Amino acid sequence: MRILLDTHAFLWAIADDPRLGPLSRELIHSRADAVMVSLVSLWEIAIKHSLGRADMPISAAQALSWAEDSGFEWLPLAPAHLLVLETLPPHHRDPFDRLLIAQAIGEALTLVSADGAFSAYGAQLQPADR
């Protein structure tokens, strides 16, 4: 199984945050064939950190380093992902999250996320808090 980490799941994984549930933790560290982090998440981190958002305690440089040290693979944003994005119903308004769901659908990845709104899209989903 190939998985894509939502931005918060990525942050929880690299910080060993207890909000990341045991099943998701095991999937990330031992069961997944590939653990992917989208460049969309790096973009989100860079924007929120530069704005001084309290919910973004790390910089894009730190995230980049930690992802590479963890052996995670970077998923680039491709034109095909934008074509999927264009067809998504408006269940979620956050543009970063919409891009992540489009990538998960377009690449047939299981998305690890605690965001309940993602389930409405029909993509493979692993709740991050389980």
Tens of pLDDT, residues 24-71: 999 999 999 999 999 999 999 999 999 999 888 899 999 999 999 999
Q: Alpha carbon of 13 to those of 21, 58, 73, 96: distances in Å?
A: 10, 13, 14, 19
Amino acid 27: pLDDT: 96
Q: What is the percent of the chain with per-residue pLDDT over 70, rounded to a whole number?
A: 100
Calpha distance 119→127 (Å, rounded) = 9
Amino acid 7: pLDDT: 96
What's the whole-number average pLDDT of the chain? 94
66-101 burial code (b ≥16 CB/10 A, e <16): bbeeeebeebeeeeebeebbeebeeebeeebbbbbb
Q: Where are the domains of the chain?
A: 2-115
Tens of pLDDT, residues 110-122: 999 999 888 899 8
Architecture of the domain made up of 2-115? 3-Layer(aba) Sandwich (3.40)
Three-state SS for the chain is CEEEECHHHHHHHHHCCCCCCHHHHHHHHHHCCEEEEEHHHHHHHHHHHHCCCCCCCCCHHHHHHHHHHCCCEEECCCHHHHHHHHHCCCCCCCHHHHHHHHHHHHHCCEEEECCHHHHHHCCCEEECCC
